[in-house]
A and B are shown apart, each in its own frame.
Chain A
């Protein structure tokens, strides 16, 4: 019997090419006759474009074209649409190159195409743009004030949409009769995604067939094709092939249909030459869609038993200057609907106002809405526990949804299918040695050392998504996934998935499952993704959907293969199909092990069809379109232990441990890697990262000298374990794990820092907990203490 690979910590098959520099990223590609583009970008956050003089640039040797927004508009190139609509949402135009006004630093004003990048970059500096600088607004709440500069002329109040969920009346009533309430003003800091690979796009126009090919750094090539074909350029969908080759990280920032992709397609046809553009890191900082950026007032009410009776949330969610592909969904359905968290809160109300500002557009960033919801709930939980003089763990335990309550209907639309939250909490407490740690903390405090212990219990809804449900909520696309499993005459297998791997290890994990299902060696399986010319269709990877949704489609397709193989085997072995069993890598007559056919023999016969059932089609391939019945709901508990240096305000991470439940784990190495990366990014938000804008809309932390992302020495060896609660509604019981680390860790680290600062009477600080901010808070608290003395 072949070794079962599900659950095996196999090394990733994609890694040798990544770590030896032999992967193929978009920027690695060079086509014959290829030209290169550079963008002329606005240095102002808000400015009227009065005049563009390209004569010097055009005269520069090697320059092929200077493209303006006016030219593209006249050529019939349309605005870039968003992928999610709310009732009453304002969707102002977003042309690939702006021609009236620049609305954020980095907004494209013109594009230069030249023989090579050096010339294009030189010439981009020669394009003379006359700007009339205008007042700008970068903070969401500022944009909502009367008289704030309008980002789009026809939306004078800057409001893109407002949205709410929950029964406001019931919530207000619960607050009115509460035993205790707490209220926090929270800022969820804006983040720059910083994928390791900068964005890049290469377009080719094939004149003979009037077809286009676009290689681009995308998490979802089919969505690009659909948007470009149906909305932006009017290219017939079958005449555009979008390929996302190796992609070096996305974290949500490579979902969005970016302007540069349209510009290179347009330029490639205009010039009759392939055109490539690759972002400089400084362009990435101001043009890759940013994440988070909420200003929130959050309240929690409890009864005399410490049970949460209501949660009330008012959020301003900054959209940036234009709407990205998923932006409207992030602070609404991926946020407001998550506000039950793992708790039995009966009444929840959330109201969101989403303004435009003169900042880089915002979109999904790892976790997308769910980290914001978790941070808010977990901060409230800690502050409330303290108010009640209760251990934060005991407060959570009292409020967790018990295992027997599933399926559990929350008051904010979602129905949780399964869960065992207390088991994960207990495991984490045991791993960390919670009681002992609290004693140690008390001893440290006596010595003037400030240890903080932060706990976050979380759930997430992922595995996007039941199509009809998300359609009813405003999605402009389906969210099912497809798979095509193709068996070749030699028994080798190609699997085409509509999901996309940009670091997640699908080529390994998916192959393990396919090898198990077909009982063939894993080396015989290739996972193919990221090419609209090769896969049936697909919606890409985001929202931790690839395993629960994409792999479910693959599994169901492989099972069609097995069914057909049994019928071929039955014919060859002269038995009834129902008597054929698939065991030990063979198709055999039940109870007669020597009457058997190998997978190879069946694959060959399926293609020869020389000796074949009369009523069966030749060939051996199967396609499956899988639409999930519900989201999947991973959960767990994370615990961070930190020490704050009161002299400098510096926070040091001492321990970090996570217990996550993503159902049965396909490949522990990959799952753990996903958790590690997620924790690093979540810790980054809590301690280090923030896109800081000044009053003129200039980003002050727009490079790696100023913007701190976590490095190895900011972290510790992460202690990780899991519980296994299978999802009841997909074939393998699996749940997503790509975002869990980010969702829980920001809250865990935040709670740990605030716990450390408790002796100073500090209740809440906004992230990131930079040394200066922490020191300032301690310093003020001490001064206050001295004054009181």
Chain B
């Protein structure tokens, strides 16, 4: 009740959402509202218009298409977490989602909302990077598909352009053994450090969130483990000094040095878990 004044528009289709976005270029898209609404209450954000896309039917579907899990951007955490095909084809998703917020947050919050918001401490961007997911984006000039790695560009910054909407997330099914480990912030429960790993036929893909301005691949780790049998010793040896402290976030909970140390520890734990060690 104490946000600045704003207009509220509700889209009932993707086409209508795109049209509304054209008409109101200053508008913000409203999904689950768990990041945007608190920011508005604190008056850190004061968009003149909100376009609610949370109930757009074609954005909520979750289905398996061949070897790809197609997740509608407005599918809620809960819907994805409990979806049988997701649980089977990409178990890292429910594993990570379980650690997000609380049941109320997971009932309202959406996958696409989180990814498009690109909070540097959100869990799912790291998961998408490790999975090698691709983002389907629709806009005034049609649709395009963006690799997760190109999608996350900075702190709260994505590849989404003006008038564009993230519509689907394409996740490779059965990409390999996978795990997500997280060191949660004691208050917010966002990731101080979260590491997602997928051990696939072509090797290890690992990504970290919470450490820097946006989620990123742990290439040094991936390279160190390339072509090696994944023994405990190999993992422990590889998880040392993965990121230089100077590039990392720092706050009350974790200094740069401590955060860099946590990246090593959490990466090790994620790997050990994924490898079943």
Q: Which A residues contact B (CB, under 8 angstroms)?
A: 117-118, 121-122, 125, 280, 282, 647-648, 650, 688, 692, 700-701, 704-709, 770-772, 775-776, 779
Contact = CB atoms under 8 A, between A and B. Distances in A.
Interface in B258-276: 258, 261-262, 265
A704 B186 CA distance: 10
A159 to B, nearest CB: 30
A118 B252 contact: no
Nearest to B190: A705
Contact of B261 (A282, A692, A704, A775): A775
A38 to B, nearest CB: 8
Contact of B253 (A280, A647, A772): A772
Nearest to A710: B186
B2 A700 contact: no
A770 B2 contact: no
7 contacts: A118-B5, A648-B262, A648-B265, A701-B252, A705-B187, A708-B186, A772-B258
A700 B1 contact: no
Given A701-B187, A779-B261, 12 more contacts: A117-B1, A118-B1, A122-B5, A704-B187, A705-B185, A705-B188, A706-B187, A706-B252, A708-B186, A771-B183, A771-B186, A775-B261
A772 B254 contact: yes
A770 B253 contact: yes
A30 to B, nearest CB: 13
A776 B258 contact: yes
Interface in B237-263: 252-255, 258, 261-262
A647 B187 contact: no
B252 A121 contact: no
A85 to B, nearest CB: 37
Interface in B9-42: 41-42
B253 A707 contact: no
A706 B1 contact: no
Contacts of A705: 185, 187-188, 190
A772 B188 CA distance: 16
B265 A647 contact: yes
A706 B121 CA distance: 13
Contacts of A708: 185-187
A771 B258 CA distance: 10
Interface residues of B, number: 21
A688 B2 contact: no
Residue in A704, A708, A772 whose Cβ sees the most chain B Cβ within 10 Å: A772
Contacts of A709: 187
B64 to A, nearest CB: 33
B226 interface: no
Name B's interface SS.
Answer: loop
B35 to A, nearest CB: 11
Contacts of A704: 187-188
Contacts of A700: 252
Interface in B211-253: 252-253
B45 interface: no
A726 B186 CA distance: 41
Contacts of B185: 705, 708
Given A692-B252, A701-B252, A772-B254, A280 B2 contact: yes
Contacts of A282: 42
A118 B190 CA distance: 31
B4 interface: yes
A216 B186 CA distance: 33
A282 B5 CA distance: 20
A707 B187 CA distance: 6
A648 B187 contact: no
Contacts of A650: 183
Contacts of A688: 186-187
A780 to B, nearest CB: 12
Given A707-B187, A775-B258, A122 B253 contact: no
A771 B185 CA distance: 10
Interface in B185-202: 185-188, 190
B4 A122 contact: yes
A779 B262 CA distance: 13
Nearest to A707: B187
Contacts of B255: 772
A779 B255 CA distance: 14
A704 B41 CA distance: 14
A775 B264 CA distance: 14
Nearest to B262: A648
Select the residue from B1, B188, B253, B258 with max chain A CB neighbours within 10 A: B258
Interface in B167-191: 183, 185-188, 190
Contacts of B5: 118, 122
Nearest to B254: A772
A190 B147 CA distance: 47
Nearest to A700: B252
Nearest to B259: A772
Contacts of A692: 252
A277 B257 CA distance: 45
